Amino acid sequence: MSLFGTMRTSISGMDGQSTRMSTVADNIANVSTTGYKRASTEFETIIGSNNVRSYTSGGISSLVRYNISEQGGLTGTTSTTDLAIRGEGYFLVSRDNGPAYLTRAGSFVPDASGYLVNTAGYSLMGYDLSNASASSANGLSGLTRININQTALVASPTTAGSISANLSSTATAVTDPDKLPSANQADATFTSKTSRVTYDNLGGKVELDIYFTKTADNTWEVAVYNKADAAAGGGFPYASGPLASETLDFSPTNGALTSGSPLSIPIPGGQTMTYDLSSSTQLSSPFLISNATENGNAPSALDHIEISNDGILSAVYQDGTRIAKFLIPLATVASPDNLRPIDGNAFADTAASGSILVGNARQGTFGSIASSSLENSTVDLGSELTTMIEAQRSYAANSKVFQGASEMMDVLMNLKT
């Protein structure tokens, strides 16, 4: 009977508007939630039986759609670990060592153990750059929870360095081998000298005395000593022989170094340093060091954390040392709007969304990471209030249809023969 169909149709209309009102309530409640994606209710027509002799009304079915791919505006903050994404990517997060989920809610802070977690309790995932196999991964298997307590105090031994020096081609050669610095005699003679600071395995300073001595045209000797072994007052003889000694040959045409680099220097109590001298020259100019660097550092406390727009989390120490600790990857799926929302403003992949694809920030369409920023909710309060009024009116109209059909049914049922 068509009256029953009318009542069923109006009920489906009220049910659909009730669902619409529920999404409006969710949206308004999350108008200030970081990274929240607006929900909307879409309707689909259900056609009843329809022929020439009779007509039976159908109805509607409702589907809640989350506009997950829509990006909200960014707001600056004062916290380095507040993160937002400019682009299509998502942060990878996990809770209680569970599966990896996607989120745009980047309000991360260190918990009591030093793990970066957002307000929903999800830990930020990344690749540990101290683990070569993990940092080269491009998938979920190499991910680990990012912990900044590992960066509390650090000391790194010196393993590499370089020096660019000009050795004067007009200097007088030292021809007596017994007077060369490598012989370590009290009357040792040298042409030029410099000192450099390196570090042992525990971060202790090891100062090196580096002697350059001309032995013939276009030929020099370089000898390196531990300054702690120097004689009283400094200089020769040292308590032990040179840490390293090498012959340097220069081109007579342009003064460029042709052999003798790199120099291997075993640091006392530390590692063997590879010292690059390839940029050194022999020109008709006074001795000059234009550039010299050595890695390694003394024990230093953490000063602050920096996160670059390509996802490198670096620890910056009080002595100025900057060490890359983690790589924060980004992820996406083929159809973001078909992700499944879960508690905590996170999303799980589904068959409809496609599998999670992991990549690096600033590559492809993943986007870049903005530190000291948060993504706003995509909810527009004005449009939600308008939708709420429309839902109320539509619900009331459907209820009037039901009431009218009910009254007609009463008339029918009360007919007397």
| One domain, residues 51 and 92 | no
Domain edge (last residue) among 295, 322, 357: 295
Whether pLDDT at 153 is above 70: no
Give the pLDDT confidence score for residue 319 in this predicted structure.
76
Angle between helices 2-29 and 381-413 (to 10 degrees): 160
| One domain, residues 149 and 239 | no
| One domain, residues 115 and 236 | no
Domain edge (last residue) among 275, 295, 315: 295
Task: Please give the tally of structural domains in the chain.
Answer: 3
| One domain, residues 307 and 408 | no
Give the pLDDT confidence score for residue 301 in this predicted structure.
79
Q: How far is CA 323 from the centre of its chain?
A: 13
| One domain, residues 200 and 90 | no
Query: In whole angstroms, what is the distance from residue 402 CA to residue 3 CA?
Result: 9
| One domain, residues 203 and 265 | yes
Tell me the sheet residues that pair with 107.
82
Whether pLDDT at 250 is above 60: yes
Domain edge (last residue) among 240, 262, 295: 295
CATH number at residue 227: 2.60.98.20
Whether pLDDT at 59 is above 90: no
| One domain, residues 148 and 193 | no
Write out pLDDT tens, residues 171-230: 999 999 999 999 999 999 999 999 999 999 999 999 999 999 999 999 999 999 999 999
Averaged pLDDT score across all residues of the chain: 90
Lookup: tokens for 22: 């529920």
| One domain, residues 180 and 291 | yes
Of the given ranges (174-188, 278-292, 401-415), which has the lowest mean pLDDT? 401-415
Residues 6+ apart with CB under 8 A from 393: none
| One domain, residues 400 and 336 | no
Give the pLDDT confidence score for residue 56 in this predicted structure.
72
Write out pLDDT tens, residues 130-146: 775 555 456 688 899 99
Model pTM greater than 0.75?
Answer: no
| One domain, residues 15 and 45 | yes
Burial of residue 363 (CB within 10 Å: 0-12, 13-18, 19+) is middle
Give the pLDDT confidence score for residue 403 in this predicted structure.
85
Residue among 402, 359, 412, 386 nearest 7 (CA)? 402
| One domain, residues 330 and 256 | no
Write out pLDDT tens, residues 352-389: 999 999 999 998 889 999 999 999 999 999 999 999 99
CA distances from 240 to 9, 65, 200, 220, 340 (A): 99, 77, 18, 22, 70
Of the given ranges (45-59, 179-193, 402-416), which has the lowest mean pLDDT? 45-59
| One domain, residues 353 and 397 | no
Provide the domain limits for residue 168. 158-295
Give the pLDDT confidence score for residue 254 in this predicted structure.
95
Write out pLDDT tens, residues 296-311: 888 877 788 999 999 9
How crowded is the C-beta side of 129, counted as CA atoms within 13 Å? 15
The arithmetic mean of pLDDT across residues 217-245, rounded, is 95
